[in-house]
Structure 1
């Protein structure tokens, strides 16, 4: 049984949850320009002295949460919504919004997890990368871009869920996995930072559609949001 996050306070921000919420198959493809080169190097805070120095891409900004505990980098043309909604007690609620107004990722802290796995589904893993700056108790969380299919669904548009985010859960084994739950261990209880990939998104100003989740992984939009999410790190109190 894998652990899944209780993310009721973040449902309005993105549809990553411990149930299959069908998202379809093809996805929105952003502009094809390459992400900016990394040039500026920021010194780590005293609390992260053992971690590598943080490299911020040229032209990007750095956001630090209002409680002074976490920072991440994001494209200059994107914006931060803070607070994004009513945060959990003692936590923060932040949304990362694209230049055309789409919420690309949501960060929530002081979340509570629950040991639940009501059913397992066929799964796909498109991308995975460790996030060592967030290691806790000897466990290094990882960024994942993954999907679940629901064979019981008769509607192709509702049979596939796709999402990306940080998780501390063990990697799935075999051919099936619990529903997507991007939850990572972070004091005092846990946190989430991720978003859902909805191929049927029609946000005005959004990019044209592409054919498959694999193609979306090669788009600039995906590369930007992955780089922003994986840049999440501890920040010194301000």
Structure 2
């Protein structure tokens, strides 16, 4: 599986999982993309006390903290020992945020970006797997409710076992695929003024420090505390109160 995923679909564009320990992005086969170029400028965000909760987060787990983006528009919860790099890179000239969440070993858990402009065409579909899915009504926009998903795409043309399967988790506004094949993974969701992303990549071939031991399948990974924490963090994303 590729060490890093670029998410694409019939109406989306790639997004890097962020800086800090991530490889350069590679485009999924069969898709063309178009993304607005980020400009200079950065914004600084702050952590809220663990007791600070907002709509969409019913109960803050013990030992967790709440993070609110520097523009005051979004909040999410995360384990207290995880850190946030803000900004994780250049943000669009028109504004937006770009933050990366890391575990104590420095491994990237997920990145959040807003004010993203996307556009792509799906030219090749691949066998897919939907491992996990949950609607996120707190992020509903214009009658559309995005979903948290953990999904896979299979490249039957690849000869390297590490590149045969792409696995990623994140929030998407795309309809759930039907039938045996689907466009490349599209982890972008509708958010003013255009779109946003909050997600990351699962790489069972990654042996760098900080990974759960003895995990080599997505099903096994879903049972780890790391995945459960990532899932709880991403699904806690909501408009800041």
What is the TM-score when the length of structure 1 is the normalising length? 0.81
| Count of matched residue pairs | 210
Summarize the Cα distance change of 1:17–1:223 in structure 2 as closer, same or farther, 3 Å threshold.
farther
Which residue in the other structure is 2:41 paired with? none
Superposition RMSD in Å: 2.2
Alignment of 1:59-208 (within 5 A): 59-89=63-93, 90-208=95-213
What CA deviation, in whole Å up to 9, does each residue of 1:79-136 have, x standing for no partner?
1111111112201100010121100100000001214112100001100001111000
Residue among 58, 73, 81 paired with 2:62: 58
Hey, what's the Cα distance between the residues in 1 that align with 2:27 and 2:183? 8
Hey, what's the Cα distance between the residues in 1 that align with 2:108 and 2:54? 29
Hey, what's the Cα distance between the residues in 2 that align with 1:132 and 1:17? 31
What CA deviation, in whole Å up to 9, does each residue of 1:47-67 have, x standing for no partner?
xxxxx5632111100000000
Summarize the Cα distance change of 1:43–1:121 in structure 2 as closer, same or farther, 3 Å threshold.
closer
Contact map agreement 1:82 1:94 (CA 8 A) in 2: yes
Hey, what's the Cα distance between the residues in 1 that align with 2:57 and 2:75? 13
Contact map agreement 2:110 2:198 (CA 8 A) in 1: yes
Summarize the Cα distance change of 1:11–1:120 in structure 2 as closer, same or farther, 3 Å threshold.
farther
Contact map agreement 2:133 2:148 (CA 8 A) in 1: yes
What is the TM-score when the length of structure 2 is the normalising length? 0.80
- Secondary structure of 1:146's match? strand
Hey, what's the Cα distance between the residues in 2 that align with 1:104 and 1:182? 15
Query: Aligned-pair distance for 1:200?
Result: 1.8
Query: Aligned-pair distance for 1:155?
Result: 1.7
Summarize the Cα distance change of 1:126–1:11 in structure 2 as closer, same or farther, 3 Å threshold.
same
- Secondary structure of 2:144's match? coil
Deviates more, 1:86-95 or 1:181-190: 86-95
For structure 1, list consecutive stretches of 5 or more residues without a partner in the other structure: 21-38, 45-51
Summarize the Cα distance change of 1:105–1:58 in structure 2 as closer, same or farther, 3 Å threshold.
same
Which residue in the other structure is 2:39 paired with? none
